[in-house]
Chains A and B, each alone.
Chain A
Amino acid sequence: MSDTTQASPMKAADGTPLKKSLTRALRRQKLRALALIAPLLIFVLFTFILPIADMLFRSVENQIVGDTLPNTVQALKAWDQASDEAPGEQVFRALSVDLQVAAELKQHTRLGTRLNYENPGVSSLFRSSGRGADKIGKDFQDRLVELDPAWKEGETWATIFGTDEWLAAEAAWDADRAGKQPAFRMRDGIDEALPLTAHAYQVFVKDVQGAGKNPATTKPWRVFYDALSQDLGANPDPASAALPSAQATLIAATSTAIAGDSFSYKDAFLDMDTGWGAVSTWETIKAYSAPYTAGYFLNAVDLEKGADGIAVRPPEERIYIKLFARTMWMSLLITVSCLVLGYPVAWLLANLRASTSNLLMILVLLPFWTSLLVRTSAWKVLLQQQGVINDILVWLRIVDDGNRLVMINNQMGTIIAMTHILLPFMILPLYSVMKTVPPTYLRAARSLGATPWTAFWRVYFPQSVPGIGAGSILVFILAIGYYITPELVGGTQGVFISNRIAFHISSSLNWGLAAALGAILLGVVLLLYYTYDKIVGIDNVKLG
């Protein structure tokens, strides 16, 4: 194979194709490079990227409604919200069971909080109704236990819903309580015969087993009585399930006994809280019943899901668009003032003698060595109405004592303090670019007849544009997500969208909305980056 022709691929000395040899040789290098960055990569992945992805997922995630009110959501499908009437009895029946299960699991308040974001007031509705639904369950419990005390026993319920093998295994586990509890096995056909009760029982077993107790010996939930009554009302003779005779008899007797009972769930709920009669309550539940929702995002851009599709929120509730616009506008102002202040300094840094420019560089970097909080607090001292600057102005009689300037707790405070804080991020990229522009260019331009200004504007400035781009993009992106400084010196008018995000994360606990706002902010930054790349070209950005 030594006489390779032109057409055949190049071969290495040992006859393997050259390409393959090269790949093999490079693979070791690549692996070594990967090993070098692996610790950081893993660290970033687990502490940064995954949490962010999880956070972003929360902006659309909405499983709580479907998980907590599965039967209600199902029943609501038949409801026509255009009818302008609260749904019928069917929905309230389902609601009764779902709410009782949720109350047992202490989930109903969380659901209330979630829906309260979309429809203020729903939170208290759910909180109070948790207790009310329990009361309904108690009435059914009393009725059934009165018929037959066997209903009081956990054993009875376990025998109806669990298979014999599971019951035996559970009993065996209960004897020595070693190892894992046997997984619950539902009796064949029982979930079709008594669907509501079977569902509730499954949740019950999961909860009880999770607490390390034996479902067969644990006090049954009250919701079972309500659910069983509903199931038997719908299917008076659930003989299809192969129940042991004792339980079959019990159910048959109970079914016959309660056949004549009548109970209006709707009235009961309306008695509890008139909120259940409001169409808007049900609209909200229906609108947010899907496992994923655009609701947080709609909210984040001042829209809402109304009865007839997406609509703009009422003017007094529109805050986020304004806040986004303000964040952008103020970040732009900060970027421009950083550029205006930083450009001459960077020029000096790049053109002074080494000893002088080193000293200047230390002055530029000095803020980096001081805590952000200290610097921001210093601005508070300087800018406040009884602060240093106002005192001096009054002393110089430039400002009247009665009309001291308001320079803090407004947009001006934020712009001043953030310009100061972000200035090094503008100066350093500018400096690193200017350092590479030889002074001969200016001399050449002047020797060709250009005035100092023309020489600067036509020759020097264009060559410093990559630095301006890098500095501006850096400052703008940092500014747009800034939090601490606006929080401390911004008052109400000078806060940024990030302050709102922080509020939703730590105070209102509406993480979904915070995630949606964060996702939009991230999207805006990426969009700006993309636009910048298209217009200026990201290759033109030099950071050092």
Chain B
Amino acid sequence: MDARTGGNAAFVAFEHVQKSYDGENLVVKDLNLSIAKGEFLTMLGPSGSGKTTCLMMLAGFETATHGEIKLNGRPINRIPPHKRGIGMVFQNYALFPHMTVAENLAFPLEVRGLGKSERDAKVKRALDMVQMGAFGGRRPAQMSGGQQQRVALARALVFEPELVLMDEPLGALDKQLREHMQFEITRLAHHLGITTVYVTHDQTEALTMSDNIAVFNDGRIQQLAPPAVLYEEPTNSFVAQFIGENNTLLGVVQEIRGDVAVVRLDDGELIDAKPVNVSRAGERTRVSIRPERVEFNKARLQPGAHTLKAEVLEFIYMGDIFRTRLRVAGNDDFVVKTRNAPDQKRLQPGQQIEIGWLPSDCRALDA
């Protein structure tokens, strides 16, 4: 109710949160984050970036060294984990091995003092929800990883929390199952209207599941944006390199004219780029271009587009796409991805070609 009356007020809010384990280093540095009700937010980042610590602070297993965490407008720093009413799915499921699946699911209801019949009904509903209705009598050890994952999910949802935290829940599954579960988790989350905070280091997972992604590095949120924005418009070179594949060229900003920055690459060539993280001439910059936005078919390039000379080093056939490695402006790891289409050219190693791209796809970021 409070959330509704509060209008746009965040359902979960981190305000200037800091965390240190040893009193010398900050694992989380001045974190500010708000999550709307019903939102699916993913915390993405390399290991040691502070994302799991943030999740644990939200769950109540770690205390913030400084700052305030609010749930539904209420500070929760001093509320112990069992009174927060937050559902949680753990990395290795953490299903209690000495209880059956049904007992595992009944546990949160039991500690809340629900009657037997009510418990049974809720357990059944939760199990049906994850298509595990027939497994109530099994022990966790008698099930596959995917099945355990479903049960863990059902257990986190069975007491109808408004907020569910997931700590790399799909890490232990194989690729196919993982993709299937990604879909299922998002479907459930949206269907039930619960707010979800999801931690992962797998960017594909983050991109496919989330409403918003917070990219963590070095204890800070580097960028908080919906998946498409994050991929196409990274605001710094860490995000650009962490999300998806990325080609980078180093250079110095020659001049900035409106939304075009002229960059002199280290080998002397001049290219146009979109200034994102640069503000003045003379600044060092890292220019970033996605492999699939590079074009070497001159006919498809816009007239007047700037081109660069390139030498083909390697051609890799990957089925749906071709991956070609080029040497561009002294960079041996410049990758181009092209769709496997009937008219698509297959480049040969040693071939000299010219490549180009739209200036708007070429982002001048911090060096």
Shortest Cβ gap from A459 to chain B (Å): 6
Contact present for A438 and B108 (CB under 8 Å): no
Q: Are B107 and A440 in contact (CB under 8 A)?
A: no
B11 at the interface (CB under 8 A from A): no
A440: chain B residues at CB < 8 Å are: 90-92, 94
Interface assignment of A454: CB less than 8 Å from any CB of chain B: yes
- Are A450 and B111 in contact, with the CB atoms below 8 A? yes
List A contacts of B88 (CB < 8 A): 443-444, 447-448
Contact partner, B81, options A438, A446, A458, A462, Cβ 8 Å: A446
With A447-B88, A448-B159 already in contact, the answer to whether A438 and B94 are too (CB < 8 A) is: yes
Determine whether the beta carbon of B96 is less than 8 Å from that of A449. no
Contact residues in B for A351 (Cβ distance below 8 Å): none
Interface members, chain A 431-465 (any B CB < 8 Å): 438, 440-441, 443-452, 454-455, 458-459, 462-463
Q: Is the CB of A448 within 8 A of B92?
A: no
B73-119 at interface with A (beta carbon < 8 Å):
80-88, 90-92, 94, 96-98, 107-108, 111-112
Q: Once the chains bind, are A449 and B92 in contact (CB under 8 Å)?
A: no
Residues of B within 8 A of A447 (CB): 59-60, 81-82, 84, 86-88, 156, 165
Q: Does B61 contact A (CB under 8 A)?
A: yes
B155 at the interface (CB under 8 A from A): yes
Contact B107 A463 (CB under 8 A): no
Please state if A450 and B82 are interface contacts (CB–CB under 8 Å): yes
Pairwise interchain contact B111-A448, C-beta atoms closer than 8 A = yes
Chain B residues lying within 8 Å of A463, measured Cβ to Cβ, are 96-98
* Separation of A538 and B181 alpha carbons in the complex (Å): 39
Which residue of B61, B90, B96, B112 has the most chain A CB atoms within 10 A of its CB atom? B96
CB distance from B126 to the nearest CB of A (A): 12
Chain A contact residues (Cβ within 8 angstroms of B): what range? 10 to 19
On whether the beta carbons of A444 and B111 are closer than 8 Å, the reply is: no
B108:A443 contact, CB within 8 angstroms: no
CB pair A444 B82 closer than 8 Å? no
Q: Are B90 and A462 in contact (CB under 8 A)?
A: no
Q: Are B90 and A448 neighbours in the complex by a CB distance under 8 Å?
A: no
Contact A449 B85 (CB under 8 A): yes
B interface size (C-beta, 8 A):
27
Q: From known contacts A448-B107, A450-B82, infer whether A462 and B94 are also in contact, taking CB-CB under 8 Å.
A: no
Residues of chain B within 8 A (CB-CB) of A445 are 96, 107
B111 touches A454 (CB 8 A): yes
Judging by beta carbons under 8 Å apart, are B159 and A444 in contact?
Answer: no
Interface residues of B in 21-60 (CB under 8 A from A): 59-60
CA–CA, A452 to B84, complex, Å? 14
Q: Are B98 and A448 in contact (CB under 8 A)?
A: no
**What is the CA–CA distance of A448 and B82 in the complex, to the nearest angstrom?**
6
| Residues of chain A with a CB closer than 8 A to B90's CB | 440, 443-444
User: Given A440-B92, A443-B61, A449–B98 Cβ distance below 8 Å?
Assistant: no
Chain B residues whose C-beta falls within 8 Å of the C-beta of A448 in the assembled complex? 82, 87-88, 107-108, 111, 155-156, 159
Contacts of A446 in B (CB 8 A): 60-61, 80-82
Q: Are A451 and B82 in contact (CB under 8 A)?
A: yes
What CA separation (Å) do A458 and B82 show in the bound complex?
14
Give CA–CA (A455, B61) in the complex, Å: 14
Collect the chain B residues with CB atoms within 8 Å of residue A449's CB: 82-83, 85, 108, 111-112, 159
Residue of A441, A451, A454 near B96 (CB, 8 A) is: A441
Docked pose: A463 CA to B141 CA in angstroms? 14
Residues of A within 8 A of B107 (CB): 445, 448, 450, 458
CB within 8 Å of A: which of B148-188? 155-156, 159, 165
Q: Which of B81, B88, B92, B97 has the most CB atoms of chain A within a 10 A radius of its CB? A: B81
How far apart are A352's CB and chain B's nearest CB, in angstroms? 15
> Which of A438, A449, A452, A454 counts the most B-chain CB atoms under 10 A from its CB?
A449
CA distance A463 to B59 in the complex (A): 24
- For the complex, give the distance between the alpha carbons of A111 and B129 in Å: 85
Q: In the bound complex, what is the Cα–Cα distance between A444 and B92 (angstroms)?
A: 11
Residue in A443, A450, A452 whose CB lies within 8 Å of B94? A443
* A438–B86 CA distance with the chains assembled, in angstroms: 21
List, in ascending order, chain B residues with CB within 8 A of A451's CB.
82, 111
Q: Are B98 and A462 in contact (CB under 8 A)?
A: yes
Annotate A13-45 by CB proximity to B: 1 below 8 A, 0 otherwise: 000000000000000000000000000000000
Residue of A nearest to B113 (CB): A449
User: In the bound complex, what is the Cα–Cα distance between A48 and B165 (angstroms)?
Assistant: 60
Residues of B within 8 A of A459 (CB): 96
A438, A443, A454 — which one has the most chain B CB atoms within 10 A of its CB?
Answer: A443
State in angstroms the CA–CA spacing of A458 and B92 once bound together: 19
A454–B109 alpha-carbon span in the complex (Å): 13
User: What residues of chain A lie closer than 8 Å to B165, measured between beta carbons?
Assistant: 447
Q: Give chain A residues whose Cβ lies under 8 Å from the Cβ of B159.
A: 448-449
Of all chain A residues, which has the CB nearest B86? A447
CB distance from A225 to the nearest CB of B (A): 84
Instruction: Chain A residues near B61: list those with CB within 8 A.
Output: 443, 446
In chain A, residues 312-341, which have Cβ atoms closer than 8 Å to a Cβ of chain B?
none
Residue of A at shortest CB range from B87?
Answer: A447
- Closest residue on chain B to residue A465 by CB atoms: B98
- In the assembled complex, the CB of B98 is this many whole angstroms from the nearest CB of chain A, namely 5
Once bound together, how far apart are the Cα atoms of A454 and B61, in whole Å?
16
**How far, in Å, is B203 (CB) from chain A's closest CB?**
25
Give the Cβ gap from A368 to chain B, nearest Cβ, in Å. Answer: 32
Chain A residues with CB under 8 Å of B94's CB are: 438, 440-441, 443-444
A452–B59 Cα distance when bound, in Å, is 15
Minimum Cβ distance to chain B for residue A347 (Å): 17
Distance of A454 Cα from B107 Cα, bound (Å) = 10
Which chain A residues border B92 with CB–CB below 8 Å?
Answer: 438, 440
- Measured in the bound complex, the distance between the Cα atoms of B85 and A450 in whole Å is 10
Contacts of B84 in A (CB 8 A): 447
Q: Which residue of A lies closest to B59 (CB)?
A: A447
- For the complex, give the distance between the alpha carbons of A454 and B96 in Å: 13
Q: State A447–B55 Cα separation when bound (angstroms).
A: 12
With a cutoff of 8 Å between Cβ atoms, the chain B residues found around residue A462 in the complex are 98
* Chain A proximity of B280: nearest CB distance (Å): 49
Q: Mark B248-265, 1 if CB is under 8 A from A, else 0.
A: 000000000000000000
Cα–Cα distance between A446 and B90 once the two chains are bound (Å) = 12
How distant is the Cα of A441 from the Cα of B91 in the complex, in angstroms?
11
* Cα distance, A458 to B110, chains bound together (Å): 11
Q: Scan residues 373-420 of chain A and give those whose CB is less than 8 A from a CB of chain B.
A: none
Measured in the bound complex, the distance between the Cα atoms of B112 and A237 in whole Å is 106
Q: Which residue of A lies closest to B88 (CB)?
A: A447
- For A441, list chain B residues within 8 Å (CB): 94, 96
CA distance A452 to B112 in the complex (A): 14
- Chain B residue nearest to A441 (CB atoms) is B94
A450 → B minimal CB distance (Å)? 5
Return chain A residues, CB-CB under 8 Å to B82. Answer: 446-452, 455
Once the chains are docked, how many angstroms separate the CA of A199 from the CA of B188? 100
A452 to B98 CA separation, bound complex (whole angstroms): 18
* Cα distance A390–B113 in the bound complex, in angstroms: 51
Chain A positions within 8 Å of B155 at CB level? 448
Shortest CB distance A38–B (Å): 38
The distance from the CB of B55 to the nearest CB of chain A, in whole angstroms, is 11
Docked complex Cα distance between A458 and B104 (Å)? 11
Shortest distance between the CB of A440 and any CB in chain B (Å): 4
A residues near B91, Cβ cutoff 8 Å: 440
Q: Which residues of B contact A443 (CB under 8 A)?
A: 59, 61, 81, 88, 90, 94
B80 cross-chain contacts in A, Cβ below 8 A: 446, 452
Beyond A443-B81, A447-B59, A447-B87, 20 additional pairs, beta carbon < 8 A: A440-B92, A441-B94, A443-B61, A444-B88, A444-B90, A444-B94, A444-B96, A447-B86, A448-B87, A448-B107, A448-B108, A448-B111, A449-B83, A449-B159, A450-B82, A450-B108, A451-B82, A452-B80, A455-B82, A458-B107
6 A-B pairs in the complex with CB atoms less than 8 angstroms apart: A440-B94, A446-B81, A447-B81, A447-B86, A448-B108, A458-B107
Which 3 A-B residue pairings sit nearest by Cβ, starting from the closest? A448-B108, A444-B94, A447-B88
Binding site for B on A (CB under 8 A): 438, 440-441, 443-452, 454-455, 458-459, 462-463
